[in-house]
Amino acid sequence: MKKWIFSSALFLCASFSNNPIHKHNCADHNHPQMMIDSSALHAPKVLDPSDSRFVDPDTIQADYLAVKPMQIDGFEVDSLEKMEKAFEVLEKVVNSKEFKNRVINFKNDTGVRSFASNQGLSNEKIYSIFMSGREILQQDTPHEMNFFLKLYYKRYSKVIGWTNGDINTININWKFFKNFKPNDVAGNLAHEWTHKIGFDHRFAAEHDSAPYAIGYIVREMGKRYLKGEELY
């Protein structure tokens, strides 16, 4: 039971949109998400190279994207170690060719090659924006995923973390973080950071949105990386 609660809350994220039109509040989840959020159920699909819509990843240029911790508050030695591992996983995954392919050739649940809540942007454009490393609030630090993290503890909360469009800080609830593997943390960082570059989801959890789908991709690839698999 405990495990189910944990997994259902995995990406119960929290963000206010940067776009006032789509302003919503996923920080104040007063109700539990009644869905099982296992990676097996939410494995983002990718187009087969034989598909006529397939885009050769080699035709899309991207510079190396470095993970850069800016301010890390409230972490003890063990949790900091886990976070550092998560940073390593995240940087490894986002710079891989597989990640590039899975974002560019992502297809949603209905088979369409586009993310939900994509603001009219193609997968390629979303990948390029992601890899440019320019957060809405940190436009002058390209090629970096800048992280301002704060660990807090709220025992009776179902929110695993929260942020909003006006602040850099991503607040992470220790209640969930303590059970996370580094790849779960990496997936969650990818989700939250995708909000930081301006993408949103209309509801929790819009699995085909860029924050969710990219978070799942990072989490799944990160799991394999932690098992010793080489990522390309």
Catalog residues that contact Zn ion under the rule CB under 5 A.
13, 15, 211
Please identify, using beta-carbon distances, which residue of 15 and 123 lies nearer to Zn ion: 15
Residue nearer to Zn ion on the CB measure, 13 or 47: 13
User: Closest distance between Zn ion and the C-beta of residue 211, in Å?
Assistant: 5
Nearer to Zn ion, 44 or 211 (CB): 211
Whose CB is nearest to Zn ion? 13
CA 231 from chain centre, in angstroms, equals 18
Dist CA 135 CA 178 (whole Å): 27
Residue 115, phi then psi, degrees to nearest 5:
-85, 155
Nearest-approach distance from CB 191 to Zn ion, in angstroms: 6
Closer residue to Zn ion, CB minimum distance, 15 or 146: 15
Question: Which single residue is written with the structure tokens 């959890």?
Answer: 205
Q: How far is the CB of 25 from Zn ion (least distance, A)?
A: 11
Minimum separation from the CB atom of position 97 to Zn ion (A) = 26
The β-bridge relationship of strands 66-73 and 144-152 is parallel
Least distance between Zn ion and beta carbon 13 (Å)? 3
Nearer to Zn ion (CB atom), residue 201 or residue 223: 201
b/e code 1-36 from CB counts within 10 Å (16+ = b): eeeeebbbbbbbbbbbbbeeeeeeebeebeeebeee
Query: Which residue's structure tokens are 């508050």?
Result: 73
Say which DSSP state 201 is in.
Answer: -
Q: Do 86 and 149 contact (CB within 8 A), yes or no? A: no
